Structure 1
Amino acid sequence: MKLRICLCISVIFCVTVKAQSNTEVYLFDLVLQNDKPLLTNPKNISNNDGYDNQPSFWDDDTVLFAATRQDQTDILQFNIEKGSTTQWLTNTPTGSEYSPLKIPGKNAFSAIRLDLDGLQRLYEYDLKGESSPISDLKIGYHVWFDKNTLVATVLVENRMDLVIINLSDSTHSTVARNVGRSLHKIPSIKQVSFIDKSKKDWAINALDVELKTITKLASTYQKEEDICWLGPNLLITGHNNSLLTLDLSKEEDWKTNISFEQSEINNISRIAINPSKTRLAFVAEESPTAIVQKQVEAFNNRNLDAFVARFSDNVSVQRFPDNSMYQGKDNMLENYERFFLNTKSSKVEVVQRIALGNTVIDEEKTWVDGREGHQVAIYKINNGQITSMTFIFPEESLSDAEAVVKDQLKAYNSRDIDSFLETYANNVQLLNFPNKLFASGKKSMRAQYGGFFDSTPDLHGEIKNRIVIGNKVIDEEYITVNGNHISAVAIYEVDNGKIAKVTFID
């Protein structure tokens, strides 16, 4: 069982860093029922392989967002009532546009333009695509306070500062440093919310634009920086595949309202609602399991380009734990091109799949020109692509490998330190994936697990999935510790009837 997680319960509250590639924009009908959002009629309105992001509502029935086409990012308009039609509003071969927002009192919108020469400025666009610069500042994100006033983040060194820009007299003033990207007008009052990232714990603050005073409203959920206002006191944010709300009028914490089971929805961000609060849009990434499944399907279709496209440029491929086979997409392309040329048929069938965070572990049956094989593939995913692929092959088979691991689980749940350690070799090694040693030997394990067993009366480990391959047992574990629940993956290696190595995967 996982020692480091069990001894450091704070790992539950780890931060997930969001990436913004291979994203899609989703639209829902919204009903607020007792201040709880109910979402129906889901629709992927971008449906594009690439970067689609930063939705905002032009009006109740029209969404603007940034979308990629032909290696550039332009602004796309999606009209809900007119048969869900789309129309490109910009076409800038010399650059790309991001973060579109309707300009108050005008039939026009603003957007950040990043030119190929690196120049980044805020522009005004009419609906015919004509544009003119609004400000010379290097603006990252913005919100319109009124037709003459912008609140924006300005890039300064390696941070963003919050700036009030007066367009009437072309003046600006910095009011906060090190802020996040989420800027919103607060309903019913003349204030703008922003994320203060200057301290360890991020805060949701309110800026009185006229008085230039700042008030803390709440803490973010963990370190999620994308929020939206459902009402004067009601906030919504995304975390992984869930939406959470916070009622500022009550002394309560963030509450999970909706969790999506679709594999297409993961790492929710950039939430927006229409003026009448009847529709909600957000951005989501493909889940790691969806990404892995697409590469499996591409392999089975022997579509080399589609297969390789799922991997990062510097992908590493190795045998467990860290014996390098090759590195880089070019080498992968060469290897699999040769493989497809030299074989008539090939197929992978996923027997079991374990998913934990950005790690996907597949137990696979393989067929190559009629020859059947058995393997495990461990995929690491980042920024919407597979960054590493580690293979485990059944190099040796031990009939007692699973039995030994079962015995250690039974002793673990009984908190029987002697029986627990009896299942381990004297020189057992505990490692973090792929091969980083952090503890070794029974003496060390006894010192740590002995007190841990004594202080956790509700300790219990449940196996959600188990893969057995050769002398290795891979367990997806659901652990209860002092009322907390933790998911973990452990790879047990059995030698001479004892557990010789345990590799933990976060």
Structure 2
Amino acid sequence: MYRRFFITLFTYLICIPQLIAQGSFDLIAVDLKKQTGKWTLSINGVEKITDRDLYDNQPAFINDKQMAFSAADDKGNHDIIIYNFESRKFTNLTKSADRNEFSPSLTDCGLYVSAVTVEPDGKQRLWLYPTNFGEPELLYDDIEPVGYYDWYDNKAAMFVLGKPNSLVYPDSKSELHTIDKNVGRCIKKRPKSSTIAYLDLDKMTESNGHKSYSVVGFDIEKREYIDFGMSLPGSQDFIWLDANTLLMGIGNELFIRKIGKEGWESLGSVEVVGYQNITRLAYSEPLKKLVVVMERKKE
């Protein structure tokens, strides 16, 4: 049933070979909740959302029961798929034979799912896909190639590919503010704030062969930079569980860190036979569900 939702053609991944490798990935859901101030991961609540030898990746919750993600069919075409946790059904938001969509996210207004779209001529720009399945709209025609992004005040802070990569924010139609350069691929707004967080790849330490980078926040309203400490060594993907808690993973293990504290605390491991290497993450507080992307082991 699941395979019927996927359509036509593509042979590369988002034009960022240094950040994304071709491979087979699935979405794994686990129960995660906060009780009496402590985050608890349930090892009994592990569930495979997808189960294909293809690319299912980049999850993002869009409401209290649905999640969007980017998925490839067997010809290599990538579309945005919506998964409903109540009905356990999949639905195509996009079915684009001539283009490919990645990195879905709900816009601030809630009327669109945005996605980085690789267009027929190779341009990589941010598009808006109406949640009522209407016609898509190009958001910024002159900002590209976009790799990753997140939303604040109905505008997108965007990771733009270059040498080095840069993080930009459109203050207005005519003013594009460069927040920083040489940043990591993970761009996340801090909850209940006007701050966009990212990894500064110029500020790095190394321990036991694993690199750790400075997690930096830029407050768009105050125009101030905030030091959130160092990332988990060996990982570049993070999310906020709340305004003061970061979550990252390495191997099969998940770690959290409170802002203002140095050490990362293990939450436990996500053990699924045939899978390894947690990368991207998404969390729904209403569902108490954490979705992780894991790589299929090669046989």
* Coarse TM-score class (shorter-chain normalised): 0.7 to 0.9
Q: What is the CA–CA distance in structure 2 between the aligned matches of 1:38 and 1:246, rounded to whole Å?
A: 14
Q: What is the CA–CA distance in structure 2 between the aligned matches of 1:195 and 1:256, rounded to whole Å?
A: 21
Q: C-alpha deviations, 1:151-175, integer Å up to 9, x for none?
A: 1111113x32111123x53531111
Structure 1 pair 252/156, CA: closer, same or farther in 2 (3 Å)? closer
Q: What is the CA–CA distance in structure 1 between the aligned matches of 2:174 and 2:69, rounded to whole Å?
A: 28
2:194 matched to which residue of 1?
A: 190
Q: What is the CA–CA distance in structure 2 between the aligned matches of 1:114 and 1:282, rounded to whole Å?
A: 24
Q: C-alpha deviations, 1:371-426, integer Å up to 9, x for none?
A: xxxxxxxxxxxxxxxxxxxxxxxxxxxxxxxxxxxxxxxxxxxxxxxxxxxxxxxx
1:282 matched to which residue of 2?
A: 292
- The counterpart of 1:38, out of the listed 41, 51, 55, is 41
Q: Which amino acid aligns with 1:238?
A: G
Aligned CA-pair RMSD: 1.9
- The counterpart of 2:168, out of the listed 163, 170, 179, is 163
1:2-21 correspondence to structure 2 within 5 Å: 19=21, 21=23
| Residue 267 (structure 2) pairs with residue 262 (structure 1) | no
- Deviation of residue 283 (structure 1)? 0.6
- The counterpart of 1:152, out of the listed 154, 158, 161, is 158
* SS of match in other structure, 1:59: coil
1:215 matched to which residue of 2?
A: 226
1:236 matched to which residue of 2?
A: 247
Q: Which amino acid aligns with 1:71?
A: G
1:29 matched to which residue of 2?
A: 31
1:378-389 correspondence to structure 2 within 5 Å: none
2:210 matched to which residue of 1?
A: none
Mark the runs of 5 or more structure 1 residues left unpaired by the alignment: 1-16, 293-506
| Residue 131 (structure 2) pairs with residue 120 (structure 1) | no
Structure 1 pair 109/170, CA: closer, same or farther in 2 (3 Å)? farther
- Deviation of residue 20 (structure 1)? 5.0
1:333-348 correspondence to structure 2 within 5 Å: none
| Residue 64 (structure 2) pairs with residue 60 (structure 1) | yes
- Deviation of residue 275 (structure 1)? 4.7
What is the number of residues matched between the two proteins?
A: 268
- Deviation of residue 187 (structure 1)? 2.1
| Residue 118 (structure 2) pairs with residue 108 (structure 1) | no
Check the 8 A contact 1:32/1:38 in 2, yes or no: no
- Deviation of residue 211 (structure 1)? 2.7
Check the 8 A contact 1:143/1:152 in 2, yes or no: yes
Check the 8 A contact 1:78/1:84 in 2, yes or no: yes
- Deviation of residue 108 (structure 1)? 1.3
Q: What is the CA–CA distance in structure 2 between the aligned matches of 1:220 and 1:169, rounded to whole Å?
A: 34
Q: Which amino acid aligns with 1:270?
A: R
Q: What is the CA–CA distance in structure 2 between the aligned matches of 1:258 and 1:19, rounded to whole Å?
A: 26
Check the 8 A contact 1:121/1:137 in 2, yes or no: yes
1:448-487 correspondence to structure 2 within 5 Å: none
Which runs of 4 or more aligned residues in structure 1 lie more than 3 Å from their structure 2 counterparts after TM superposition?
Answer: 17-20
- Deviation of residue 239 (structure 1)? 0.2
Whichever structure has more helix as a proportion of its residues is: 1
1:68-107 correspondence to structure 2 within 5 Å: 68-69=72-73, 70-81=75-86, 83-107=87-111
Check the 8 A contact 2:183/2:198 in 1, yes or no: yes
Q: Which amino acid aligns with 2:291?
A: A
* SS of match in other structure, 2:139: strand
Q: Which amino acid aligns with 1:68?
A: A
- The counterpart of 1:137, out of the listed 137, 143, 166, is 143
Q: Which amino acid aligns with 2:136?
A: S
Q: What is the CA–CA distance in structure 2 between the aligned matches of 1:60 and 1:106, rounded to whole Å?
A: 12
Q: C-alpha deviations, 1:168-207, integer Å up to 9, x for none?
A: 5353111100111112121232212111112333111111
2:9 matched to which residue of 1?
A: none
Q: Which amino acid aligns with 1:37?
A: T
Q: C-alpha deviations, 1:21-52, integer Å up to 9, x for none?
A: 20111122321234223235322222222111
Q: C-alpha deviations, 1:38-78, integer Å up to 9, x for none?
A: 23532222222211111000111100000001320000000
* SS of match in other structure, 2:109: coil
Structure 1 pair 255/154, CA: closer, same or farther in 2 (3 Å)? same
- Deviation of residue 223 (structure 1)? 3.5
Q: What is the CA–CA distance in structure 2 between the aligned matches of 1:110 and 1:116, rounded to whole Å?
A: 18
Q: Which amino acid aligns with 1:225?
A: Q
Q: Which amino acid aligns with 1:213?
A: E
Q: C-alpha deviations, 1:359-382, integer Å up to 9, x for none?
A: xxxxxxxxxxxxxxxxxxxxxxxx
Check the 8 A contact 1:123/1:134 in 2, yes or no: yes
What is the aligned-residue identity percentage? 29
1:271 matched to which residue of 2?
A: 281
Mark the runs of 5 or more structure 2 residues left unpaired by the alignment: 1-18, 206-212
- Deviation of residue 212 (structure 1)? 2.5
Q: Which amino acid aligns with 1:244?
A: F
1:416-455 correspondence to structure 2 within 5 Å: none
Q: What is the CA–CA distance in structure 2 between the aligned matches of 1:37 and 1:185, rounded to whole Å?
A: 23
Which protein shows a greater Rg?
1
Q: What is the CA–CA distance in structure 1 between the aligned matches of 2:53 and 2:62, rounded to whole Å?
A: 24
Q: What is the CA–CA distance in structure 2 between the aligned matches of 1:277 and 1:227, rounded to whole Å?
A: 19
Q: Which amino acid aligns with 1:140?
A: G
Q: What is the CA–CA distance in structure 1 between the aligned matches of 2:65 and 2:269, rounded to whole Å?
A: 25
